Structure 1
């Protein structure tokens, strides 16, 4: 079976981690060899960049362009040393976030123009592009409630949230709108999933898309 590269996208609190792990289990149960990974991260070097990206020094907040270079450096390493070799061996790759996150966060949210974003994205991935991307579409108020509840469940308070988790409802709405715009721009690749549904329903919806698209 030809390998496929699937990405999962969405704002904070959309439920990407639960959905991605559920989809990984469903693909495995269908007899598909799949590797589950995430961004920023996916390799030891990229994981180090992820930590810097999520938790920068308190007195030295990165600019949007700095964020772009950090996540792009991590992505270049991830693609070259993990994603591309797996695809070449026939393994499917399922990735929690990829370059649509850069477009949403550093682009729409950070204010970087496409003329800046796209050449760096293109350089970081080369010819490695997702065959299919699921965007978890979640109302801003629901996303915000989930991020706060998640941290409370871990015994942490608002001060422990990273700068995106702890964002305002307006931030969550801005991210949602950015992803919806990307879905309109790339309709052949991006499929919206209703993130208010249960994880089981969301995974079932995704698997229907995969089966219909690739006849597995």
Structure 2
């Protein structure tokens, strides 16, 4: 039997926090969900095993909930930046080893990192960038792995068709790498290597720095 996922504290049950908590529960993780609004907590009580109403800007409240016993926490507080920053700082003081926090903008992100967040996400900005690439038709999927590294799926350009990847000079010329390929008619991606030869109708998974991948897909 597979090991259970690491327990996680999710603070803030807006749209983002709720979706995250429910997905963690679905995947079999133990979740402690916290929100200061009793109405929200009552609504989620039947869907998340441990959901409580508390003010997480209060250190004593966090200690009473046993938050210092958790290794992972997500600060999913919505538009209240003060609460977001203070909660993140308290989690750091309490020794939580892995802290994720939701930021509203880049300035908020910088502050969250200074006060102890190990990972910061900007859901609206990241989804906006992804959707822009999809709507433009440049790629069929787009995932920003970090601030300057992305994965994207696209059809291969003409100069790659019929040429083994090892002979294409793709990485040297465009500074992107084909990680895997889904050949025309296939249902799944497979690993790509130097001997992989692409055809029209194939789909490739590209990896590289954001600017390089963007430049490459626009040049096809």
Larger strand share, 1 or 2: 2
Q: Which has the higher contact order (CA 8 A, sep 6+)?
A: 1
- Choose between structure 1 and 2: higher helix proportion: 1
- Tell me if TM exceeds 0.5: no
Coarse TM-score class (shorter-chain normalised): 0.3 to 0.5
Query: Normalized against structure 2, the TM-score is what?
Result: 0.35
Structure number with greater Rg is 2
